[in-house]
Every structure is written in C-alpha cells, then in structure tokens.
C-alpha cells in the first residue's frame, strides 16, 4: 500500500512517479477518469498552477512522448486543460504506460498537489474522448485481482495515516466483512439509491426521492443528496436551515461531541455516521454539516469523504461492485459495525483479498470543504460550457456539482451560465461544491 497525505480532511495526496524519476503529489479521485500533471507552461489567474517549489512535468524526458492531442476537463470547482502525452506512471512500485494530460491552464486548484488521477471508468474520460488510448492506470496494470481500496485518515489525529491499496485490501484498516453493492453503471463507481433510507433519532426519510443513483467519490468531501433528504437529515441533527449564500448548513461546533449519529441504509445495510465525523470545523469558530444539497433528478447523489473516512471502501472492477466495511482508526471503537436489516440483498460477503500496493493524488476545495467530480462530456470541450448551459435541461452526463450551479439560477439571475460563472462558482454565485 502507499500513504495518503491528509490535507485538512479535504484532499488526500500521495506520491506518484512519472517517466524517468519525476516525482509528484497527485489526488486519487474515484469520481473522475482523467490523469493529469502540472505542465511547465501552465497559466492560471489564481495560483492553480502552483507556487514556487511545486513540481511540473519535464516534457524533455526521453520516456515521454507527445500524442499531438489536446484535452480539457471541467470540475465543479474549476477546470484544467492542456496537451496529451504518453509514458510510464508508477505508484507504490507498480508501473504502467498510459496517456495522460500535461496542463497548460488550471483554474480552481489551490492545494499542495501537482495533479490528479481519475480512478473511475475510462468510458467517461475526456482524454479518451480527445482521441487518446490507454488512459486508465488501473486497467493498464492488468491486475490479477482487479480491485483497489481506500483508507482515509482522520485529520484531527496526527497519528492516523491514510493509505490506498492496489490489487487487494489491507485487513488491518477495517473490521468485519465487506457489504457489497453492485454497480448500475460502469461510468462513475455508481450504484442504485432505490430503497435507500436515512434516519436520525425518531425521524427518517427516503434517499431515492428525486435521485435514483449515487457514487462513491474520494474526490468530493461532503455527502451530497437531493434537497429533501439533505434538509431532513440536517434538521434532525440540529443544523440550521440551508444557506443559499454559503451553500451549506451551519451547525453548532459543540455538536461534534454532543450530537447524535444518523444512519444511511444502503442495499439493506445500515451505516452509522457519528457527529464527530459529520460536523466540519471551518477553523474560524464556525462549523458546517458534512451533508448538503446538490443532487438533482438529472444527476447522482455522492458519498464523499465524510462517509468514506468512516467506512473503508473497495472498488472491485472484476465484479463491478463497491464494498464497504467499518474503518479502524487509531483509538476507535470497532463495535459500530454496519448492521444488516431484514431487507438486505445477498451481497454481503467476507473479503478474501490480500494486501498489496498503490498510491494517490490532488484536487481543490471550497468553503464547505468539498471537492468535485468532473464532467462526462463525450467531446474534448468541458461539459459546463457545452452541455450545462442548457439550464434546467442539464443531462445526467454533467458533473453533479455543475448541476447544482444550474439548478440555482437565482444566484446569477440568468438561465445561461458562462465559463466565468462556472469556473468561479464560490466568488460569483456563492455556491460551493
């Protein structure tokens, strides 16, 4: 396995080697499909292209070759574009030659990392849509045990170390058996919400109201639900009403230690999320809930890092499914194992995977401490600029975060969203993703 560096519980970065020994920090993102590194000629207006001392690709490396192609990918928090190269990418001792991006422009990336590796399916890769082949690092490895797994550390505990494992799981990082949920689309790591429920105290509701699918996304910080479910959970846990100006639900910071948990029932299995996990400290004496709005009937719900820190996750390509088991953090109790209800499917099994190796990468965050997944446009142009401009008719191929922008037209007083508004959501529209 390879270590993941926790950046304020928002980003998880890990070392990646490109070509002939070039070292980078990248954010491993299960909610996107393009791999890219910062380029030597990158331009940005917000320091997205890095500050002094951060790495950039040396394209003169003899092991790298230009494809002559260009690409762009749009994320809810920004965008990136540049030139497409081929070459060896190595993580935790595993190496494969793939097509990847070298950025010439970046917007909305303010972390310490040097790029991003998308671990969703190649079917939604914008680099592949631009004409490149062999864009998915996991696929290129040809693993005998075709899966990878994440343990996300708790930033409050400096002794806690995150890791990602390729080709198996690390049994020391979870307890109990995996509860597997089959994919309903091999695009994102996407599963069905149908029959899913939430509960907090004596209050409960459906998760499959206007949104019928959800994804497991290491590149998004929050749990993103439709309005009804997000409002219901936040009211039940004692958060304030949703603020359209911040895109978040404020909550008393003391609830981190005094608040009650809420549960999500997925595929018949109950997953408990304690207050210590869902109360996020802004660092200025205020806190927000880790559950927010943003999923619409044309998009998907998202289980981001709030959920994935509590539950170890394994992404099983061989069997097209995602598995969750209670994560074991330093000093944590291992008694709150997910429980199976009488409606559970027959997908709960014990993992027989063996521990192996891997690594991770970078994305950006907003004031609600979340990152975003990219668009899935089938062209090299960004979804936010080409598809999302259709306003209320936003299609499911668009980024869930961009969908949130489109759905709240009142922020900019228009149904037509240009690239500036999409690229600078936080400052112009007051919407965070």
Q: For 298-330, write each residue's pLDDT tens digit.
A: 889 999 999 999 999 999 999 999 999 999 999
- With a CB cutoff of 8 Å and minimum separation 6, the contacts of 226 are 209, 210, 211, 293, 295, 296, 297, 301
Judge residue 365's burial from the number of C-beta atoms within 10 Å of its C-beta, 0-12 exposed, 13-18 middle, 19 or more buried. Answer: buried
Q: For residue 120, what pLDDT is reported?
A: 97
Percentage of the chain lying above the pLDDT 70 cut: 76
Q: For residue 173, what pLDDT is reported?
A: 97
* Confidence label for 35 from pLDDT (cuts 50, 70 and 90): very high
Q: Tokens standing for 29?
A: 């993102």
pLDDT of residue 364 exceeding 70, the answer is no
pLDDT of residue 411 exceeding 50, the answer is no
Q: What angle do CA 36, 39, 44 make, to 5 degrees?
A: 100
CA–CA distance, 99 with 101 (Å, rounded to integer): 7
Please indicate whether residue 99 or residue 399 has the higher confidence score (pLDDT). Answer: 99
- The sign one gets for the Cα dihedral 118, 120, 122, 128 is negative
Residue with tokens 């070039």: 22
Helix (H) or strand (E) holding 117: strand 115-118
Beta strands at 162-166 and 78-91: parallel, antiparallel or unpaired: unpaired
CA–CA distance, 295 with 302 (Å, rounded to integer): 8
Q: How many CA atoms lie within 13 A of 349 on its CB side?
A: 13
Q: 89 pairs with which residues across the strands?
A: 18, 96
Nearest to 205 by CA among 188, 228, 180: 228
Return the active site residues: 29, 217
Beta strands at 291-292 and 339-340: parallel, antiparallel or unpaired: unpaired
CB 281 within 8 A of CB 222: no
Percentage of the chain lying above the pLDDT 90 cut: 66
CB 98 within 8 A of CB 139: no
* Confidence label for 8 from pLDDT (cuts 50, 70 and 90): confident
pLDDT of residue 393 exceeding 50, the answer is no
Nearest to 290 by CA among 267, 268, 261, 269: 261
* Confidence label for 110 from pLDDT (cuts 50, 70 and 90): confident
pLDDT of residue 51 exceeding 90, the answer is no
The model's pLDDT over 197-240, given as tens digits with 9 standing for 90+, comes to 999 999 999 999 999 999 999 999 999 999 999 999 999 999 99
pLDDT of residue 68 exceeding 70, the answer is yes
CB 384 within 8 A of CB 422: yes
């Amino acid at each position: 396995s390879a270590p993941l560096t926790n950046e304020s519980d928002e980003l998880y970065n890990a070392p990646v080697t490109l070509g002939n020994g070039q070292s980078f920090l990248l954010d491993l993102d299960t909610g996107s499909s393009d791999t890219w590194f910062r380029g030597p000629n990158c331009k940005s207006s917000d320091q997205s292209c890095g500050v002094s001392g951060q790495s950039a690709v040396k394209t003169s490396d003899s092991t790298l070759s230009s494809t002559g192609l260009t690409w762009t990918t749009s994320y809810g928090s920004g965008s990136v574009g540049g030139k497409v190269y081929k070459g060896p990418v190595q993580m935790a001792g595993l190496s494969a030659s793939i097509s990847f991006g070298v950025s010439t422009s970046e917007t909305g990336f303010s972390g310490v990392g040097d790029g991003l590796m998308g671990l969703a399916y190649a079917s939604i890769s914008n680099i592949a849509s631009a004409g490149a082949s062999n864009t998915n690092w996991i696929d290129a490895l040809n693993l005998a045990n075709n899966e990878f797994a994440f343990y996300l550390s708790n930033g409050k505990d400096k002794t806690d170390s995150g890791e990602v494992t390729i080709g198996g799981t690390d049994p020391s990082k979870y307890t109990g058996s995996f509860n597997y949920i089959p994919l309903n689309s091999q695009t994102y790591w996407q599963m069905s919400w149908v029959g899913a429920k939430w509960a907090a105290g004596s209050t409960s509701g459906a998760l499959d109201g206007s949104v019928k699918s959800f994804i497991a996304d290491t590149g998004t910080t929050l749990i993103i639900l439709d309005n009804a479910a997000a409002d219901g959970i936040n009211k039940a846990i004692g958060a304030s009403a949703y603020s359209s100006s911040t895109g978040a639900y404020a909550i008393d910071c003391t609830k981190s230690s005094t608040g009650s948990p809420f549960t999500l029932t997925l595929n018949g299995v109950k997953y408990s999320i304690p207050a210590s996990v869902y109360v996020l400290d802004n660092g200025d004496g205020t806190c927000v809930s880790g559950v927010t709005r943003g999923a619409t009937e044309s998009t998907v719900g998202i289980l981001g890092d709030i959920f994935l820190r509590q539950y170890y996750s394994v992404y099983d390509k061989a069997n097209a499914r995602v598995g969750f088991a209670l994560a074991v953090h330093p000093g944590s109790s291992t008694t709150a194992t997910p429980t199976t209800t009488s409606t559970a499917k027959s997908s709960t099994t014990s993992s027989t995977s063996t521990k192996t190796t891997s690594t991770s990468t970078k994305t950006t965050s907003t004031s609600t401490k979340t990152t975003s997944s990219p668009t899935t446009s089938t062209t090299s142009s960004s979804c936010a600029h080409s598809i999302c401009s259709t306003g209320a008719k936003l299609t499911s191929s668009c980024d869930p975060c961009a969908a949130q922008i489109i759905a709240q037209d009142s922020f900019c007083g228009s149904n037509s969203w240009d690239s500036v508004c999409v690229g600078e959501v936080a400052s112009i529209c007051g919407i965070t993703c």
